[in-house]
Amino acid sequence: MSASLRTPDDIRIEKRDLKFGRENPPPRWWHSGDPGRTAFFNALSSTFPVGEKFFMTSVRHYREGTPQPLRGQIDDFLYQESMHSREHVVFNRQAEDAGFDIASAEERARRTIAWVKRRSPIQQLAATCALEHFTATLAHDALANPTHLGGAADEARQLWRWHAIEEIEHKAVAFDTYLHAARTMTPLRRWLKRSTVMCVTTMRFHYVIFRNAADLLAQDGCNNWATWKGLLAWLYGREGLMRALLRGVFTYMKPGFHPWELDDRPLLEEALRLLEAGKVKGLAA
């Protein structure tokens, strides 16, 4: 039940210091002019600053003693996550400037992370693995299907594209760290621990994101069946982001799973090309 694959030798976790939306902050309903889609992504973003810091802490705890190249990948992971936290702090403040009160959403995320921090370091790392798998799964689907970000305001789309690229680049760092940290466990115990934590994390993730989205929709007077029907159809339909996430949960539970059994490198190349094209467009404007 140990992972049968490993991170490709040629994967690069780039250190990028990019800034988004300072000059042209997104409008209130920045995704397709739609309050539901905007609320979903804003709900995600509200969890990122505290969540990314938790990921960094749980992985850094096991950095000493890890072999190369994993130790270097951990350092690159820490850098990328710190940049994500910084940019989503800005994005969340822009949501507030657009009129949203996201204090309750941020507090819900803080309470959830505080609950996780009462667990053992290895359980915290397992929770990080689960959440990193969520973000990598959502990132893959967002980049593979242009309709997911196609209706977003330019700067917001670039932010989410950049975040998705880096989530894929470092998608195995926490998992590889877990395999190293739990190397003295039996394969069965190692699998049971990460699978059990994944089940709990899946339930809490859905609760936090949808409660956050409901709070934001209520502020627009849209927390009603009509809005939720459209949003849930978009998220769980045939090509929905959350449908992809649920498929990813079952993939993760498979004995021998490794994040790089899905090779995203061709997708990364195309996404990086679009990111660079967007940067050039921004400079030209």
Q: What is the pLDDT of residues 104-121, one digit of tens each?
A: 999 999 999 999 999 999
Q: In the chain, where are the structural domains located?
A: 35-284
pTM for this structure?
A: 0.94
- Specify the pLDDT at position 285: 34
Q: What span, in angstroms and rounded, lies between the C-alpha atoms of 123 and 115?
A: 12
Q: What span, in angstroms and rounded, lies between the C-alpha atoms of 171 and 176?
A: 9
CA distances from 165 to 53, 143, 180, 189, 274 (A): 19, 8, 25, 32, 11
CA distances from 233 to 25, 36, 207, 226, 240 (A): 28, 11, 18, 11, 8
CA distances from 69 to 37, 145, 165, 176, 179 (A): 39, 32, 20, 11, 14
- Specify the pLDDT at position 260: 97
Q: In sequence order, which residues have a C-beta less than 8 Å from that of residue 191 and are 6 or more positions away?
A: 1, 255
Backbone angles phi and psi of 176, in degrees to 5: -65, -35
Q: What span, in angstroms and rounded, lies between the C-alpha atoms of 118 and 168?
A: 28
CA distances from 115 to 10, 72, 102 (A): 37, 30, 20
- Specify the pLDDT at position 1: 43
Backbone angles phi and psi of 269, in degrees to 5: -60, -45
Pick out the chain residues at pLDDT < 70. 1-5, 279-285
- Specify the pLDDT at position 9: 85
- Specify the pLDDT at position 282: 47
Q: Residue 211 carries which side chain, given as an amino acid letter?
A: R
Tokens of 7: 């991170």
Within 13 A of 100's CA, how many CA atoms are on the CB side? 32
- Specify the pLDDT at position 78: 98
